[in-house]
Amino acid sequence: MIQLVKGTKDIYGAEVKAWQSIEGKMRRLCETFGIGEIRTPAFEFTELFVRGVGETTDIVQKEMYTFTDDGDRSLTLRPEGTAGVVRAYIEHGMHNNAQPTKLYYISPTFRCENTQAGRQRQFHQFGVEMLGSYSAAQDAEAISVAAALLEEMGVKGVELRINSLGCPECRGRYNKKLREFIGSNLDRLCPTCKERFEKNPLRVLDCKEESCQAVIANAPSVLDCLDEECTAHFQKVQDILTEMGIPFVVDPKIVRGLDYYTRTVFEFVSDGLTVCGGGRYDNLVEECGGKPTGAVGFGLGIERLVMILEKQNGAIEEHPERDVYIGSMGEKGLIRAQGITLALRKAGVRAECDTVERSVKAQMKYANKIGAKYSVILGDSELESGQVELKEMETGEKETVSLAELAEVLLKKVK
Ligand code: ATP
Ligand code: MG
């Protein structure tokens, strides 16, 4: 038997219901925030992610699913959502529209990572990107979308952690300071970080190895390297979050795993698991060939959100529910039941009937299993009289209804 690929998952049954409900909430929330949906392709030219995400990031170095097509072009399955949205923003001249441009997506995302709890090779991201503003107000608006969603989902104990990486000049100053600090602790770092230290010392702060974490604990703070403007920008983000009533903590160790971030970075953490990460990326649009454009966004892992919800509220259970079961007896009844069921469905009734040709007893057992609220049985006498006994499954109460009025009667009852 061929099994599913490691790090992927089938979503079905009760879980898919939970997903639909979560996605519905995301879409409704975006509607109220004035954020329109965008659907970009699942694969792009590899170059887009190398340039966008950054050469020295874990994603580009070892996590991308890259392949060559028949035209010898290098393509890559989307490892994150921002680069594709930025490409689309430039390609379709969206900067000509009223700014900011606010977009969201719910898309499968692919990273060839070591699988473990909360870490898959195909996962799903709810992402929001807001392009066309440099203001701290835009950062706060983006953060408020994620905060409102987590609040509406009833996720308990999430902590919002924010930090600022400053502009490239501040970052240059910090990199120098960090390199000096790390350099004097080099022997205590993991082999990957020894390499990272040369090319991009900031990446060391994001390392999950315990030995590296111990070193990082005493690292200098990026906030001490921010210039006046970047400091004021970060303060304003905090002032607006406070005004919005969104609690946060400042954590100068947050850098996020993507190279494109400038100034504000943030994450929402629950039970030690990052459910949402994002930040400002003021240079990415230009980097990808567009005009200089301030932008901010985040990605929220739907699997991780489901995991947290399950941990807090218990496993998701399935409660099947159907409005009516149209049982039948005999050949004529079976044929008639198919037509009546379709008519009921078209009228908006969630109807089921026998398509397996079971005995009446087995049909009723099935009606119970699928959670039918009402049932009828169509036999020769019912077909002749045009009247059926409509039975309420829970109480066993029966009433006589004409077949012609069945849809109307049911719609009134189940509404
Ligand atoms: P982490 O530090 O956990 O590796 P990251 O920095 O790689 O996260 P981002 O690239 O910012 O995360 O992605 C945003 C969100 O997508 C994460 O907060 C997480 O919820 C989710 N996510 C990232 N990688 C995975 C994965 N391999 N499996 C499931 N969800 C993931
Ligand atoms: Mg990662």
Both 22 and 81 in one domain: the answer is yes
Residue 257: pLDDT over 80: no
Q: Can you give the pLDDT at residue 258?
A: 79
Enumerate residues 6+ apart whose C-beta is below 8 A from 387: 400, 401, 402, 403
Residues 63 and 118 in one domain: yes
From 313, 341, 367, give the residue that closes a domain: 313
Judge whether 174 lies within some domain.
no
Residue identifier of the C-alpha nearest atom 6 of ligand 1: 257
| pLDDT for res 255 | 86
Task: Return the structure tokens found at 115.
Answer: 């699988």
Query: Residues 115-147: pLDDT tens digits?
Result: 888 899 999 999 999 999 999 999 999 999 999
Report pLDDT for 192: 84
Does residue 334 share a domain with residue 294?
Answer: no
Q: Are residues 258 and 393 in the same domain?
A: no
Does 162 share its domain with 303?
A: yes
pLDDT confidence of residue 21: 94
- Ligand 1 atom closest to the Cα of residue 267 is 18
Average pLDDT, the chain: 94
The rounded distance, in Å, linking the Cα atoms of 305 and 53 is: 24
Query: Are 281 and 350 part of one and the same domain?
Result: no
Residues 305 and 327 in one domain: no
Residue 48's pLDDT band, with cuts at 50, 70 and 90, is very high
Considering the domain architecture, whether residues 39 and 154 belong to the same structural domain is answered as yes
Q: Are residues 306 and 338 in the same domain?
A: no
Distances (CA, A) of 82 to 4, 16, 122, 129: 28, 26, 17, 7
Q: Identify the pLDDT of residue 233.
A: 98
- Average pLDDT of the residues in 177-200: 86
In a shared domain, residues 93 and 45: yes
Tell whether 1 is covered by a domain: no
The domain that holds 410 is classified in CATH as 3.40.50.800
Domain shared by 19 and 133, yes or no: yes
Answer yes or no: is 90 within a domain: yes
Could you give the CA distance from residue 288 to residue 286 in angstroms, rounded to a whole number?
A: 5
My answer on whether omega of the bond before 247 falls inside 30° of 0, hence cis, is no
Q: Across-strand partners of 282?
A: none
Does some domain include residue 276? Answer: yes
Structure tokens at 226: 């921010």
Ligand 1 contact, 259 CB (< 6 A): no
pLDDT at residue 359 in the model: 97
Distance CA 137, CA 188 (A): 41
Q: Which of these three, 281, 313, 345, is where a domain ends?
A: 313
In this structure, the chain runs to a length of 415
- Residue 3 resides in a domain: no
The string of DSSP letters for 81-122 reads SHHHHHHHHHHTTGGGSSSPEEEEEEEEEE-----BTTB-SE
- Which residue, of 261, 278, 313, is where some domain finishes? 313
Is residue 187 domain-resident? Answer: no
The residue type of 205 is L
Distance 307 CA to ligand 2 centre (A): 17
What pLDDT, on the 0 to 100 scale, is given for residue 283?
94
**Which structure tokens are listed for 72?**
């010898």
Between CA 232 and CA 226 the distance in angstroms is 9
Structural domain contains residue 333 = yes
Q: How far apart are CA 203 and CA 193, in angstroms?
A: 8
pLDDT tens digits along 81-115: 999 999 999 999 999 999 999 999 999 999 999 98
Q: Do 48 and 288 touch, CB atoms closer than 8 A?
A: yes
- Report pTM: 0.92
Q: Which of 59, 104, 123 to mutate to test the pocket of ligand 1 (most atoms within 8 A of CB)?
A: 123
Residues 38 and 117 in one domain: yes
Q: What tokens were used for 188?
A: 């205590």
Distance, CA of 179 to chain centre: 35
User: In ligand 1, which atom is closest to the CA atom of 58?
Assistant: 7
Indicate the DSSP class of residue 315.
-
With respect to residue 204, please indicate whether it lies within any of the assigned structural domains.
no
| Number of domains, the chain | 2
Side chain identity, residue 23: E
Residue range(s) defining the domain that contains residue 404: 322-414
Binned at pLDDT 50, 70 and 90, residue 191 comes out as confident
Closest residue by Cα to residue 248 from 262, 234, 231, 268: 268
Ligand 1 contact via 120 beta carbon (within 6 Å): yes
